[in-house]
C-alpha cells in the first residue's frame, strides 16, 4: 500500500487516544505497540540509524555530548538510551552513568556493547520515562536522543526529567522535527516515505518500524512548541538549535 507523502501533520488525537504514526490508538495501547517495534529492531537499531540518516545521526549525537560542556558531570542519566550509544560517547566526560529504557531488549543490546568496549560501570535501569524508578534530584544532567516522541504523554516525561534533575541540572534533548526547511521538504518527504521503509524492510524484514518512525515525526511538536513544553515543565534558558535544515533539533535547558 502506498502511504501519503506529506509534511503536513495530521490533527491531534481526541481525548483518551494517542498518536501512533498517522493512526490514533488508545492511550494504554501505545506503549505496547511502540515496545513491540523496538523489541523487533533492537539488534539492528543502530545500523538502521546509520542507514536511515546516512550517518548524520553520529554528528548530531557528537554535538549533543559536546553540549554537556567542559565542566565535569558527576551523574548522568541517559533516558531512552537502551543501546548505550549516547552513554558510550559521554562516558569519558562524566562520572557515573545511568542508562534507563522501557524496553529490555534494547537494554540487552546496550549492556553487550558496553561490555565489549570495557565499560562495566554503567547502571542499567528498565523503566518508564513517565514514571521513572529513580530518586528525585539525583542527576546533574539528563540526555534523551530520539526517544521523547515515543512516550505516550510527553508532558509527563518532561515532568519526570525535571524531578530527577538537581536544581541547576542540564537537560539535553535531541529529536527529529517536522519543521524541515522548505528547500529540503520535497526531497525529505520522498526519502522519508519511499526510501526509509525500503531500508527498514531490507534490514529487519518488515517496514513497520521505519514507517512508524517517519509518521511519528510528523505528529511531534515543532521546535518552538516543544521548547514551550519544556519551559512549562520547570526549565529555564530553553534553547532549540535546528540541525541539518530542521531535520532534527537539539534542545538545551536548565532545571530551575
Residue 219 lies in a domain: yes
Ramachandran angles phi, psi of 179, nearest 5°: -100, 60
The domain of 33 spans 17-255
Give the number of domains in the chain.
1
Quote the radius of gyration of the chain (alpha carbons, Å). 17
The residues, ordered by sequence, that sit 6+ positions from 66 with a Cβ below 8 Å of its Cβ are none
pLDDT score of 72: 77
- Output the pLDDT for position 202: 87
pLDDT at residue 208, rounded to an integer: 80
> Is 12 domain-assigned?
no
* Cβ proximity of 100 and 79 under 8 Å: yes
- Residues of the chain under the 70 pLDDT cut: 1-11
Residue 4 is predicted with a pLDDT of 47
| Domain-located, residue 2 | no
Q: 35 and 98 in contact (C-beta within 8 Å)? A: no
DSSP 3-state of 205: coil
In a domain, 93, yes or no: yes
Do the Cβ atoms of 163 and 234 come closer than 8 Å? no
pLDDT in the model for residue 21: 93
Quick: pLDDT tens for 44-59: 888 888 888 899 999 9
Q: Which CATH number characterizes residue 172's domain?
A: 3.40.50.150
Question: For residue 79, what is its C-alpha cell?
Answer: 533516558
pLDDT at 12 (0 to 100): 78
- Report yes or no on 196 lying in a domain: yes
Q: What is the tens place of the pLDDT at every residue in 86-96?
A: 999 999 889 99
Whether residue 238 is contained in a domain is answered as: yes
Q: Is residue 228 part of a domain?
A: yes
Residue 10: the pLDDT is 58
6 inside domain: no
**pLDDT on residue 8:** 54
User: What are the start-end ranges of the E strands in 139-243?
Assistant: 139-145, 165-176, 235-243
Amino acid at each position: 500500500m502506498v502511504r501519503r507523502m506529506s509534511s503536513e501533520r495530521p490533527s491531534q488525537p481526541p481525548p483518551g487516544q494517542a498518536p501512533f504514526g498517522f493512526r490514533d490508538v488508545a492511550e494504554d495501547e501505545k506503549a505496547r505497540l511502540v515496545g513491540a517495534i523496538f523489541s523487533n529492531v533492537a539488534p539492528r537499531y543502530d545500523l538502521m540509524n546509520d542507514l536511515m540518516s546516512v550517518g548524520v545521526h553520529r554528528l548530531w549525537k557528537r554535538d549533543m555530548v559536546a553540549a554537556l560542556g567542559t565542566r565535569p558531570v558527576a551523574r548522568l542519566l541517559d533516558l531512552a538510551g537502551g543501546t548505550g550509544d549516547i552513554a558510550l560517547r559521554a562516558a569519558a566526560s562524566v562520572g557515573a552513568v545511568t542508562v534507563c529504557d522501557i524496553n529490555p531488549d534494547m537494554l540487552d543490546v546496550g549492556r553487550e556493547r558496553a561490555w565489549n568496549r570495557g565499560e562495566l560501570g554503567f547502571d542499567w535501569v528498565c523503566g518508564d520515562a513517565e514514571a521513572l524508578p529513580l530518586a528525585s534530584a539525583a542527576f546533574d544532567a539528563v540526555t534523551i536522543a530520539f526517544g521523547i516522541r515515543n512516550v505516550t504523554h510527553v508532558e509527563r516525561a518532561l515532568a519526570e526529567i525535571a524531578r530527577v534533575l538537581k536544581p541547576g541540572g542540564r537537560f539535553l534533548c535531541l529529536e527529529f522535527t517536522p519543521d524541515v526547511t522548505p528547500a529540503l521538504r520535497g526531497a525529505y518527504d520522498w526519502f522519508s516515505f519511499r526510501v526509509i521503509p525500503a531500508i527498514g524492510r531490507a534490514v529487519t524484514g518488515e517496514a513497520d518500524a521505519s514507517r512508524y518512525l517517519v509518521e511519528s515525526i510528523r505528529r511531534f511538536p515543532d521546535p518552538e512548541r516543544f521548547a514551550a513544553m519544556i519551559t512549562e515543565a520547570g526549565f529555564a534558558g530553553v534553547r532549540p538549535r535546528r540541525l541539518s535544515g530542521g531535520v532534527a533539533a537539539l534542545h538545551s535547558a536548565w532545571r530551575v
